[in-house]
Structures are given as structure tokens and as C-alpha cells.
Amino acid sequence: MDDIITARPSWHTYFMGIAELVSTRATCVRRRVGAVLVKDKRILCSGYNGAPTGIAHCDQTGCLRAKLNVPSGEKHELCRGVHAEQNAIIQAACHGISVQGATLYCTHQPCSICSKMIINAGIVMVYYRHGYNDAMSLEMFNQAGIELVQLSTN
């Protein structure tokens, strides 16, 4: 009986923990990111960052951004990876799952590219654990009325 967990995690702890587990599948050599889309306390879809299906991953080819010394948050087009948030939205679309009104739990604050997708997908709330230096993303979320909440790292 010593193995029984006595306290249930909060919903935020639960969903962020799942996002962190999802991030372990990431193949980016710079940052492992996981995302989970949730609605009515139910998981809709998840995603992690990595190259598109059938394409060699950065952990196999090396990171072009690192080779070119591209700072974090700049020139996203030089990355072969699809971001975790993008993959979660894409997976939902592939399976006919509406994310309108959903909440996103993500290990990292979304970048400006992902924020545009999140806004247009109708996601209404974003929880994240680790910050990311992207002022444009914050500005767009603010203008769209999407609340962005950083959860503690425990």
C-alpha cells in the first residue's frame, strides 16, 4: 500500500505533466517542446517538435540554426522542425477534431508563428512553463484577448 499516491494533482499539474512527457519524443537538438490541447478537461491532441513525417530529424542531421549561429527566436524558417503547438493543431485537423474553444498546455511559451496559428485555430487559453523571448507573440496574444499564463516550474 505504500505505492499508492495519496494526493491527486491539480488539472494544471496533470496536463502540464503530460505536455512534458510528450516533449520527450521531440527530436530538436536545441529545445524539447511538448504541447497538449484540452477541452472540458479532456485531451484532444498532442504534439512535439520535430521534422515533418518522413524527413530526417535534426538529431540525425544536425541543427542548421546552430551551424549558422542563429539566435533563439529568430529566422524560424531556417529550421526543419515543426513546432509542438503546430503539430498538435495539425494532428487535430488530420483527425477531424475541432480545437475551437480549447486550452493549450505547452512546455514553452509559443513563438510568434505558433501564436498566429493558435489565434486562428480558436484556442482561447495558453498555459506554459518556460518563457521564450518573443515580444511579438505576447503582443498578438494580448490583442486577440487570449490569456497566457506561466505555470511554476515546481
The residues annotated with a catalytic role in the active site are 85
- Asked whether residue 114 is marked as a ligand-binding residue, the answer is yes
CA separation for the pair 87, 19 (Å, rounded): 13
CA separation for the pair 97, 83 (Å, rounded): 19
Q: And the C-alpha cell for 71?
A: 539566435
CA separation for the pair 79, 58 (Å, rounded): 9
Instruction: Answer yes or no: are the C-beta atoms of 95 and 45 closer than 8 Å.
Output: yes
CA separation for the pair 87, 125 (Å, rounded): 17
Binding residues: 83, 111, 114
